[in-house]
Structure 1
Amino acid sequence: MAQLAVLVPGGRGQLGRDLAALAGQVGLLHAPGSAELDITDAEAVSDAVSSFAVTATDAGLRPVVINAAAHTAVDLAETEPERAFAINELAVGRLAAAAASRGVPLLHVSTDYVFPGDGTRPYEPTDPTGPKSVYGKSKLAGEQAVLAAGDLTWVVRTAWVYGAGGGNFVKAISKAEGQREQLSVVDDQRGSPTWSADLAAGLLELARTVVAGGAREQRVLHCTGGGETTWCGFARAIFEELGADPERVKPCTTEEFPRPAPRPAYSVLSDSAWRAAGLTPLRPWREALAKAFEVDGAAYRP
């Protein structure tokens, strides 16, 4: 199989950094941040995809775009919906069209927020969507724009992502552990914590499968850490990794911790389609958290 050349818009974000860290596993990897490649700039996007495709082809490599760029500020999106849709729908659609026009496969990262969050079993990719927040609606619109661009587009939904780069739940809880004797954390929302390093590895595996002609029947896939927990359970596990008493984390309800954007009560995503495509399921979330602290413990501790 020919080596990959991977272009990663959003390359300075949490997931983008972990994809960049895997550069040694591909022939060429370019992960520009928004300062270098603003995906809302249609001309810049077209030029970037075109030049990357030419460079890759000239080097005998197979180009793939993995889009990690997004408006991810869930609460802020409620007050700036135009910007959320400009990035998560319009810009993503243009990126997908630019890739499709050059025959370059595109993998687009999406979210559990496209579902209503009232499920009682893990969501399948084919289950009806019904986002409740502006963020979720903008991401669903982006999915539709990506898939409409052509047959060489894939959507990968994930959830509860954390990593060594950027801000996330693990870092917030680690900081709070050192500042407060007791924490109250929501215990009536369920999901699957996902280590961005594992997600990055899964996306590269999918990219290799795609260029080899696979995953044609599963163009919407779910990829999260294995198993499920609540935010409270996740926080207690983080305390354990910090060597702190997990009983200092107390459960509370969503109503006791209101946020501007509604959160899904149930965000567990099924990986059955991922497995059906012959892809390796991600490790269990608790095992991944322990590995994350082993590898990048300093990044998670304040």
Structure 2
Amino acid sequence: MNILILGATGQVGFELLRTLSPLGALIAPTRAQLDLSSPDAVAGVLRTIRPALIVNAAAWTGVDAAETQQEAAFRLNAELPEQLAHFANVAGIPLIHYSSDYVYPGDGESPWQEDSATGPLSVYGASKLAGDQAVMASGAGYLIFRTSWVYGARGNNFMRTMLRLGQERDHLNVVHDQIGAPTPARLIAQVTALAVYRQQLGQGIEGLYHLAPHGETSWHGFACEIFRRAQTLGMVLTLTPEQVTAIPGKHYPTPAKRPNNSRLCVNKLEADLGIQLPHWEPQLQLTLMECLSAERLSTTPD
């Protein structure tokens, strides 16, 4: 079957190309081939390809930039999912879409449930919530995965930024009062592939699910663990975990307000899909190993 993947050049999209390849014929237009900001261009591709499944990993991910570029953020995060869901409903095909912990108000300390009240703090969060609501109201068979703190061995993300700064700085301030679970793009793609396989067997799941590893940490804790594990893997750094200072979020102001509580309860996904999600720390080790291996290969003479 034809599987249309949008956003295939992003962190999650790249991993989806690897995990979904055994399950169908993947069609993954690049940004140069498909202007996602154009409803007409998207409609044309949908009519031409006639996919049996749409996997939408495309998104506006610039949280701070969304505050001043609201139209662009809502086009990718709200209007595009709505357009895809409408097509999926008419065509009678499933849609898989990805969302964010930023749809929640970010207060308290309890993990958010799928039915927790939403209350985004930023334009980015509001645009993601609007996309979720449009998909859920479309009548299409959908699967929405809400996740948190996505990172990977490729692309722009917190882990890769820390690795770069760890080679350039001898001191760093990182926020300690925002708590969540770092989620590797690889894990998101692996769970997606399992869900698609179950769909093909007639045992699929539908609806809204949280997808994140077990455990929790702060951005400060995440940074320190990145440096600690990178050093044990042989990376030469000018920065050690002891040189990373924990600061409150109010001392690191940003255009968009971040949630303090990004904890997500994943019990529903584990029960319905019959899986045990891993802890975030071993997943970081795997991602670091892949990242460092890729960098060594890129610098190896022919």
Name the TM-score, length of structure 1 as normaliser.
Answer: 0.90
Q: Look up the match of 2:152.
A: 163
Q: Determine whether 1:224 maps to 2:221.
A: no
Q: Is the 8 A contact 1:163 1:197 kept in 2?
A: yes
Match of 1:33 among 30, 34, 37: 30
Q: Report the CA distance shift for 1:282/1:50 in structure 2 as closer, same or farther (over 3 A).
A: farther
Q: Determine whether 1:87 maps to 2:47.
A: no
Q: Determine whether 1:175 maps to 2:164.
A: yes
Which letter maps to 2:207? Answer: R
- Once residues 274 and 263 of structure 2 are traced to their aligned partners in structure 1, the CA distance between those partners, rounded to angstroms, is 19
Q: Report the CA distance shift for 1:235/1:299 in structure 2 as closer, same or farther (over 3 A).
A: farther
- Once residues 121 and 198 of structure 1 are traced to their aligned partners in structure 2, the CA distance between those partners, rounded to angstroms, is 23
Residue 215 of structure 1 and its aligned partner are, at CA, apart by: 5.0
Match of 2:44 among 47, 52, 60: 47
Q: Look up the match of 1:14.
A: 11
Q: Determine whether 1:115 maps to 2:104.
A: yes
- Once residues 103 and 181 of structure 1 are traced to their aligned partners in structure 2, the CA distance between those partners, rounded to angstroms, is 56
Residue 282 of structure 1 and its aligned partner are, at CA, apart by: 3.1
Name the TM-score, length of structure 2 as normaliser.
Answer: 0.90
Deviations 1:67-106 (A, max 9, x none): 0011110000001112111221112201111122111100
Alpha carbon RMSD of aligned pairs, Å?
1.9
Q: Look up the match of 2:251.
A: 256
Match of 2:59 among 53, 70, 84: 70
Q: Is the 8 A contact 2:37 2:72 kept in 1?
A: no
Q: Which runs of 4+ in 1 moved over 6 A?
A: none
Residue 202 of structure 1 and its aligned partner are, at CA, apart by: 0.7
* Secondary structure of 1:268's aligned partner: coil
Residue 211 of structure 1 and its aligned partner are, at CA, apart by: 4.2
Q: Look up the match of 2:222.
A: 234
Q: Determine whether 1:203 maps to 2:203.
A: no
Q: Is the 8 A contact 1:113 1:135 kept in 2?
A: yes
Query: Is 144-153 or 64-73 further displaced after alignment?
Result: 144-153
- Once residues 237 and 149 of structure 1 are traced to their aligned partners in structure 2, the CA distance between those partners, rounded to angstroms, is 42
* Secondary structure of 1:8's aligned partner: strand
Q: Is the 8 A contact 1:174 1:300 kept in 2?
A: no
Deviations 1:159-203 (A, max 9, x none): 100112210000111111111111111000000001101111111
Query: Is 8-17 or 25-34 further displaced after alignment?
Result: 25-34
Q: Look up the match of 2:288.
A: 293
Percent sequence identity is 38
Deviations 1:111-157 (A, max 9, x none): 00000000321111111000010000000000011111114112110
Q: Report the CA distance shift for 1:175/1:280 in structure 2 as closer, same or farther (over 3 A).
A: same
- Once residues 162 and 100 of structure 1 are traced to their aligned partners in structure 2, the CA distance between those partners, rounded to angstroms, is 31
Match of 2:275 among 267, 276, 280: 280
- Once residues 128 and 169 of structure 2 are traced to their aligned partners in structure 1, the CA distance between those partners, rounded to angstroms, is 35
Q: Is the 8 A contact 1:112 1:158 kept in 2?
A: yes
Q: Is the 8 A contact 1:184 1:251 kept in 2?
A: yes
Q: Is the 8 A contact 2:179 2:261 kept in 1?
A: yes
Q: Report the CA distance shift for 1:131/1:214 in structure 2 as closer, same or farther (over 3 A).
A: farther
Q: Is the 8 A contact 1:77 1:135 kept in 2?
A: yes
- Once residues 76 and 298 of structure 1 are traced to their aligned partners in structure 2, the CA distance between those partners, rounded to angstroms, is 32
- Once residues 212 and 26 of structure 1 are traced to their aligned partners in structure 2, the CA distance between those partners, rounded to angstroms, is 11
Residue 275 of structure 1 and its aligned partner are, at CA, apart by: 1.4
Residue 298 of structure 1 and its aligned partner are, at CA, apart by: 4.5
Q: Is the 8 A contact 2:8 2:14 kept in 1?
A: yes
Q: Look up the match of 1:137.
A: 126
- Once residues 91 and 272 of structure 2 are traced to their aligned partners in structure 1, the CA distance between those partners, rounded to angstroms, is 25
Aligned length: 290
Residue 110 of structure 1 and its aligned partner are, at CA, apart by: 0.4
* Secondary structure of 1:224's aligned partner: coil
Gaps of 5+ in 1: 55-62
Residue 39 of structure 1 and its aligned partner are, at CA, apart by: 2.6
- Once residues 99 and 12 of structure 2 are traced to their aligned partners in structure 1, the CA distance between those partners, rounded to angstroms, is 12
Residue 213 of structure 1 and its aligned partner are, at CA, apart by: 4.1
